[in-house]
Amino acid sequence: MDVTEARPDPELLAAATAAHLRAYCPYSHYRVGAAIRTESGAVIVGCNVENAAYPLGSCAEAGAIAAMVAAGERSIVEIVVVTDGDTPGTPCGGCRQRLREFAGAGVLVHSVSASGPTTTMTMAELLPHSFGPEFLDDH
């Protein structure tokens, strides 16, 4: 598949957009919503949640991953992240590693600006030469 031609699944995009609109960001005013499709087909969402003690906020991707794990899921097959601004925002470094824990190298990550532009890349492009659970003896 040519990743540059890939478009987010409409259901996943709608879920991420709805989560984006529910974000709690009174300080940065930068809303982020994430939607994950799991191997079972479930769609799980998260949004950023800021806190007056700035480093205690949480990212949309981290929230979606936590909800996914709480639901008993362990494998991501596609991700959509919707952000404010004219340019799509990609997951932060920490969330790239969090996503990598549950998403293989070929999983598509769609970063979508609320105003329309979309960037799509594979997990391997988003986090090249990554360290994942397969490098540990326990897996």
61 catalytically annotated = yes
CATH of the domain at 58: 3.40.140.10
Residues 10-56: tens digit of each pLDDT: 999 999 999 999 999 999 999 999 999 999 999 999 999 999 998 89
Region 91-101: mean pLDDT is 97
Region 89-107: mean pLDDT is 97
| Per-residue pLDDT, 9 | 94
Element (H, E) at 109: strand 103-113
Domain region containing 52:
3-135
- Mean pLDDT, the chain, whole residue set: 94
Q: Is the pLDDT of residue 138 over 90?
A: no
Q: How many folded domains does the chain comprise?
A: 1
Number of other CB atoms surrounding residue 45 within 10 Å: 22
- The tokens for 102 are 């549950």
Q: Is the pLDDT of residue 4 over 80?
A: no
| Per-residue pLDDT, 116 | 87
How many residues belong to the chain? Answer: 139
Report the alpha-carbon distance of residue 36 to residue 66 in Å, rounded: 11
The pairs formed by 64-71 with CB atoms below 8 angstroms and a separation of 24 or more are: 64/19, 64/34, 64/35, 64/36, 65/36, 65/98, 65/99, 65/101, 65/102, 68/36, 68/38, 68/42, 68/44, 68/102, 71/42, 71/44
Active-site annotation holder among 5, 11, 39, 61: 61
